[in-house]
Amino acid sequence: MSPTTRAAASPSKHFAVVPAAGAGTRLGGPVPKQYLALGGRTLLQWSVDALLEAPWIETVLVVVTPGDTRASAVLPRSPRLRIEAVGGATRRDSVLAGLRVLRPWVRAGDWVLVHDAARPGLSLEALERLRRTLVDHAVGGLLAVPVADTVKVADAAGEVARPVPREGLWLAQTPQMFRHGLLLEALERFPDVTDEAAALEACGHAPRLVEGQRRNFKVTTAEDLAVMQALLA
C-alpha cells in the first residue's frame, strides 16, 4: 500500500519526538544546553510545553542520554509525556531510537513531529500551519523561513569567492513532520544525515516547505540565548 493510500484510509494520528541527548557544549554552560534556564524554565521545558499545547499531538516523547535524570525533574507531569533514556551519539541516533520506542503504538502512516530541544520559540500558530499544510501529503515536510540576507561563499583566505542568489533558499527549522514508516526507513538507511528532511531526500522524496517564524530559531550561542530571553519575556 502506498503512503498516499495509507493517508486516505483513516485519519492519521500525530506524535512528537524531542531529541535531548546532546551535550550542547558551544554555549559553554555548566549543564547541557537544553537544561539552561530561560525566563524561569529550561530550554527543554519551553520546547516540550509548546508541543503539549497542541491537543492533537497524542504523545510527546523526550529522548535523553542514558543516566540523565534532569529531564524527569524539570518537565511537567502529563499523561501525554514520556521520557526515554535511549539517546545516542548523534541527533539521528536519538531520533531513530525514539521512533523505535513509538513503533508499538503508531501506524506507518501516522505523523511524527521531530522538534529540537533548543528551539523554545515555537508557537502554536506555526504548529497548526504545519499540520494543516501537510494533512494530505504523502511524505511530510518541515517548518522553514526564506533567506532574507545576502549570501556569500568564502574562499580559503576568508575572502568572498562568489555571491549566492538567495531566491529559493530557505533556512530549515523544526518541527520536521513525516510519516513514521517513511522516516524510520530513511534514518535506518542513511546514518550520516544531519536532519530528518535530508534522510527523506536521500530516499528520493521531496519534503514540503512550510513557512515558519523567525523567532523559532535554534539557541546555539550566548547571543542567541540573550535574544530568545528578550523574545520570550
pLDDT in tens, 169-227: 999 999 999 999 999 999 999 999 999 999 999 999 999 999 999 999 999 999 999 99
Q: What is the pLDDT of residue 210?
A: 98
The answer to whether the peptide bond before residue 191 is cis (omega within 30 degrees of 0) is no
- Mean pLDDT, to the nearest integer, of 88-95? 96
Q: Any bridge partners for residue 141, and if so which?
A: 177, 208
Q: What is the pLDDT of residue 166?
A: 85
What is the Cα–Cα distance from 129 to 105, expressed in whole angstroms? 25
Q: Identify the residue with better confidence: 149 or 102.
A: 102
- Mean pLDDT, to the nearest integer, of 148-170? 89
Q: What are the residue boundaries of the structural domains of the chain, listed by start?
A: 3-232
Which DSSP category does 89 fall into? S
CA terminus-to-terminus distance, the chain: 48
pLDDT in tens, 6-36: 444 568 999 999 999 977 566 666 788 999 9
- Mean pLDDT, to the nearest integer, of 66-75? 95
CA atoms within 13 A on the CB side of 101: 24
Q: What is the CATH number of domain 3-232?
A: 3.90.550.10
pLDDT bin (cut points 50, 70, 90) of residue 165 is confident
Question: Given a cut of 90, is residue 3 above it in pLDDT?
Answer: no
Contact 94, 128 (CB under 8 A): no
Query: Model pTM greater than 0.85?
Result: yes
38-42, 98-102, 124-128: which has the minimum mean pLDDT?
38-42
